[in-house]
Structure 1
Amino acid sequence: MADTRTPTLDPAAPSKYDRLIAAARAETAATTAVAHPCDETSLRGALEAAEAGLIVPILVGPEARIRAVAQQHGLDLAGIEIVDAPHSHAAAAKAVELVREGRAELLMKGSLHTDELMREVAASATGLRTERRISHVFVMDVPGHAETLFITDAAINIFPDLDAKRDIIQNAIDLWRGVGLGTPKVAILSAVETVTTKIPSTIEAAALCKMAERGQITGGLLDGPLAFDNAVDPAAAAIKGIVSPVAGHGQILVVPDLEAGNMLAKNLTFLSHADAAGIVLGARVPIILTSRADSVRTRLASCAVAALYAGRRRRAAPVVAE
């Protein structure tokens, strides 16, 4: 019988970001509220993603300032909706409101601080919180490494406890599967691969694996604790005698805390010349986080991952009868 499932993207193929971008272009472009795109980098990123067919942006911020930036840098705003807001705080609040009203299905950070945007997202009465903990995923394309790597959480949760790590892992698994990459191998990282009371993250890693066995985490294969080398290198795993489907083949790398994750992601970016797209999950909609240092390709990949995930969630949503 022919396999009629949605084809998965091959994480071992070259140009991993290019494949994500191509897959996202096959979806209907996602309407995206862009909060305070008031510098060249953030405005250009939103417009390039629109030109690539990934998003339909609604620019939220001081209209006169946005138009001045566009004119200064030769950017075309023809056909682009602008919602006027006097300053960055108001822009963040209005962008979140557009999502709550159903006018946008993605949220994108412009030239405001991440904390300012996330404060509005997390607001109890007017934000986008769900029962799931909000977390960040770096989607990394590392030269010379066959696998697409997800690193989580390296941007939102500073010292997550066990319950938070459960949500962090589930968010990442849902994203991996949601963009068509299949069933992920989840490596829960620590400094060593043995459980010891001297390193609390090893105990949490073991507990998370047991939670997966009992159905508290679903959709992925988990193993941990694993040191970084035996999480991503089969030879290192073999030397340590670790036998599992995950060891040496980790695809989602779950870090002990934000400091470790941030250093790992930046090491890969600046020493291995990896690209690191960023997306926040666990809210009502995916949130695109970009950095001023991001390349055009990375910015497009961030939009592509969010748009692809949104498109597939849209198709999977139940139809409500009139």
Structure 2
Amino acid sequence: MTTDVVPNRTFAEIEVGDSSSLTRVIAQQDIELFAALTGDANSTHLTAPRQPEGGPLPTAHSMLGASLISTLLGTHLPGAGTTYAGQTLRFERPVQAGDALTVSVTVKEKRDADSRIWLGCRGTNQRDELVFDGVAEVTAPAGKLWISPGDLPEAVLHRHSNYDRLIARCAGQRRVPCAVTHPCDAAALSGALEAWKQGLILPILVGPTARIRGVAAEAGLELGELEIVDTPHSHASAARAVELVRDGQAELLMKGSLHTDELMSAVVAREGGLRTGRRISHVFIMDVPTYPEPLFITDAAINILPDLATKADIIRNAIDLHRGLGLGAPRVALLSAVETVNPKIPSTLDAAALCKMADRGQIVGGILDGPLALDNAISPAAARIKGIVSEVAGRAQVLVVPDLEAGNMLAKNLSFLSGADAAGIVLGARVPIILTSRADNERARLASCAVAALYAEHLILQAGPRA
């Protein structure tokens, strides 16, 4: 398709026999965009592309190819100002991803009384096989107009595949026993049950039995033979769930419908809690459609204003998780407002100190750089413009934020403005803790469970055989 300015053809200028055509290669992304626009999620169209020797390629929606008739009528013949009045079509064969579809229109009849024009329409593939044919009826423009076909809005296809890969890696792995703390609303209970059905966890439901069964009945959820540990209220649920972990009956902890503070108070209790030598911290594992790999953001949920020692543990926790998920040694960006050390901005001083700690072997397993502003942490172009030469700049995998406020706003910006999903997990305790939000969709909830299950298995392997 040309990007030059194209004049239309007025009714007076058009003659019977005039024709125009265009050729477009139908890509898999075109099929997926059409599905997203129309809501037609027929699996025939959305199967992942395969090579011919591996089976049939995905088939385009019939109307995707036919829509190119409208493109031709509206941009070339007659062009700008054309009004569609009717269309008949007969489809002869499918269009598959990778096919080059040529669409042509030819003027068959004109009617002076109302400027109506009838055009024969044909679509053929790269083998000159007929894909569809029919007749279009339009009202041609009376006056001259010009358009620039290049002036189109940019379409971005938001793919979410990072979570799919994490969930797929749990296939064949045992269901990890998980104490689900106070699942007394439909969202919390259904999330745990779906993770059970997907083979990720084995839920132990901790809460008031009558309330849990009542929620299940009202929401149409099947509890099967799952164990329910009866407790009178949410505080007792948190304490009992922690006990199950301490007793070795559960290897994961999941937040239900109680407040985060209630659960974490039981986790960090000096007597009977789940403390380790590490500070507890939270990691968002973000699936950002426009970023090529999972993006970790930490800490955006637990430590409000972490000091240097706490930040060091936040980084260690994130590095261990990244490696434990089989993602390798992460590139860790220590974020601030600027990429230079400025004594008036404390986060730049912390970043410089943390990098030096990594140089001295106090933080191991990852590649650290900072301070870095967000743009030059994730954008190669921004890093290049700023002249930053670094293994981390422009391609960070872990973003360490200065404080909870910055992290929380960054994660929510990505979720609500960029269409990202946010799985969440708490680290630094004896077991991984699944900390989901009521606003999380099912994919994010499952991803949180998959991350926790994979990491729990990693920790068990690291610990070696039990006595």
SS of aligned partner of 1:319 = coil
Residues 1:38 and 2:184 aligned together: yes
Partner of 1:75: 221
Residues 1:86 and 2:218 aligned together: no
CA distance in 1, matches of 2:273, 2:323: 26
1:316 Cα deviation after fit: 2.3
The structure that has the greater radius of gyration is 2
Contact 2:208–2:233, Cα closer than 8 Å, also in 1: yes
Partner of 1:21: 167
CA distance in 1, matches of 2:225, 2:353: 52
From 431, 445, 462, the counterpart of 1:299: 445
Partner of 1:63: 209
Unaligned runs of 5+ in 1: 1-12
CA distance in 2, matches of 1:20, 1:210: 33
Question: What code does the residue aligned with 2:385 have?
Answer: I
Contact 1:187–1:250, Cα closer than 8 Å, also in 2: yes
CA distance in 2, matches of 1:27, 1:269: 30
1:145 Cα deviation after fit: 1.0
Contact 1:188–1:254, Cα closer than 8 Å, also in 2: yes
Contact 2:160–2:287, Cα closer than 8 Å, also in 1: no
Partner of 1:265: 411
1:133 Cα deviation after fit: 0.1
Deviations 1:19-69 (CA, angstroms, capped at 9, x unpaired): 000112332211000000000000000000000000000000000000000
From 44, 52, 56, the counterpart of 2:198: 52
CA distance in 2, matches of 1:269, 1:14: 12
Deviations 1:82-106 (CA, angstroms, capped at 9, x unpaired): 0000000000000000000000000
From 209, 213, 233, the counterpart of 2:359: 213
After superposition, the Cα gap between the structure-2 partners of 1:14 and 1:76, relative to the gap in structure 1 and judged at 3 Å, is closer
1:76 Cα deviation after fit: 0.4
Contact 2:284–2:423, Cα closer than 8 Å, also in 1: yes
Superposition pairs of residues 152-191 of structure 1, within 5 angstroms: 152-191=298-337
CA distance in 2, matches of 1:168, 1:178: 15
Deviations 1:141-182 (CA, angstroms, capped at 9, x unpaired): 001111210000000000000000000000000000001101
Deviations 1:270-322 (CA, angstroms, capped at 9, x unpaired): 0001000000000000000011111000000000000000012212222255x
Residues 1:119 and 2:265 aligned together: yes
Contact 1:24–1:305, Cα closer than 8 Å, also in 2: no
Deviations 1:183-237 (CA, angstroms, capped at 9, x unpaired): 1000000000000101010010000000001111010000000000000000100
Partner of 1:8: none
CA distance in 2, matches of 1:31, 1:14: 27
CA distance in 1, matches of 2:462, 2:282: 23
Residues 1:275 and 2:401 aligned together: no
Residues 1:229 and 2:395 aligned together: no
Return the TM-score normalized by structure 1.
Answer: 0.95
CA distance in 1, matches of 2:172, 2:316: 26
CA distance in 2, matches of 1:132, 1:68: 39
CA distance in 1, matches of 2:185, 2:228: 15
Q: CA RMSD in A?
A: 1.0
Q: Using CA pairs under 8 Å that are at least 6 residues apart, name the structure with larger relative contact order, 1 or 2.
A: 1
Question: What code does the residue aligned with 1:314 have?
Answer: I
SS of aligned partner of 2:290 = coil
Number of aligned residues? 309
Question: What code does the residue aligned with 1:128 have?
Answer: L
Contact 1:21–1:300, Cα closer than 8 Å, also in 2: yes
From 249, 252, 257, the counterpart of 1:106: 252
Residues 1:318 and 2:459 aligned together: no
% identical aligned pairs? 72
Question: What code does the residue aligned with 1:213 have?
Answer: D
Contact 1:135–1:280, Cα closer than 8 Å, also in 2: yes
Contact 1:28–1:311, Cα closer than 8 Å, also in 2: no
1:14 Cα deviation after fit: 6.3
CA distance in 2, matches of 1:40, 1:320: 37
Unaligned runs of 5+ in 2: 1-158
From 130, 135, 145, the counterpart of 2:291: 145
Identify the structure with the greater strand proportion: 2
SS of aligned partner of 1:57 = strand
Partner of 2:136: none
Return the TM-score normalized by structure 2.
Answer: 0.65
After superposition, the Cα gap between the structure-2 partners of 1:68 and 1:14, relative to the gap in structure 1 and judged at 3 Å, is closer
